[in-house]
Structure 1
Amino acid sequence: MDKPQREITLRFLAEPLDVNFGGKVHGGAVMKWIDLAAYACAAGWSGRYCVTAYAGGIRFVSPIHVGSLVEVKAKVIYTGKSSMHIALEVNACDPKSLNRRLTTHCIVVMVAVDEHGQAVRIPEWIPENEEDSREHQTAQKLMEMRKKIGEEMQIFVE
Structure 2
Amino acid sequence: MKDLFKSPEQSRVMLSLLMLPSHANFSGKIHGGYVLSLIDQIAFACASKHSGVYCVTASVDVVDFKAPIEVGEMVTLKASVNYVGKSSMVVGIRVDAENIQTGESKHCNSSFLTMVAKDEEGNTVAVPGLKISNETHVRRFARAIKRKQIKKKSALEIAQANFSDASYKEELKNYNVQISL
Does the alignment reach a TM-score above 0.5?
Answer: yes
Question: How far apart in 2 are the matches of 1:48 and 1:92?
Answer: 30
Alignment of 1:107-122 (within 5 A): 107-122=112-127
Point out the more displaced range, 96-105 or 42-51.
Answer: 96-105
Instruction: Work out which of the residue numbers 60, 72, 75 in structure 1 matches 2:65.
Output: 60
Question: How far apart in 2 are the matches of 1:115 and 1:75?
Answer: 24
Question: How far apart in 2 are the matches of 1:153 and 1:36?
Answer: 31
- Equivalent position SS for 1:86: strand
Deviation at 1:56, TM superposition (A): 2.2
| Amino acid aligned to 2:18 | L
Question: How far apart in 2 are the matches of 1:121 and 1:142?
Answer: 22
Question: Tell me, which stretches of 5 or more residues in structure 2 are unaligned?
Answer: 162-181
- Equivalent position SS for 2:79: strand
Distance 1:2 1:123, change over 3 A: closer
Question: How far apart in 1 are the matches of 2:2 and 2:16?
Answer: 25
- Equivalent position SS for 1:118: coil
Question: How far apart in 2 are the matches of 1:19 and 1:53?
Answer: 28
Paired position in structure 2 for 1:86: 91
1:71 partnered with 2:76: yes
When the two structures are superposed, what TM-score results if normalisation uses the length of structure 2?
A: 0.80
Distance 1:18 1:124, change over 3 A: same
Deviation at 1:81, TM superposition (A): 0.7
- Equivalent position SS for 1:150: helix
User: What value does the CA root-mean-square deviation take over the aligned residues?
Assistant: 1.7
Paired position in structure 1 for 2:48: 43
Paired position in structure 2 for 1:126: 131
Paired residue total: 155
Question: Tell me, which stretches of 5 or more residues in structure 1 are unaligned?
Answer: none
Paired position in structure 2 for 1:11: 16
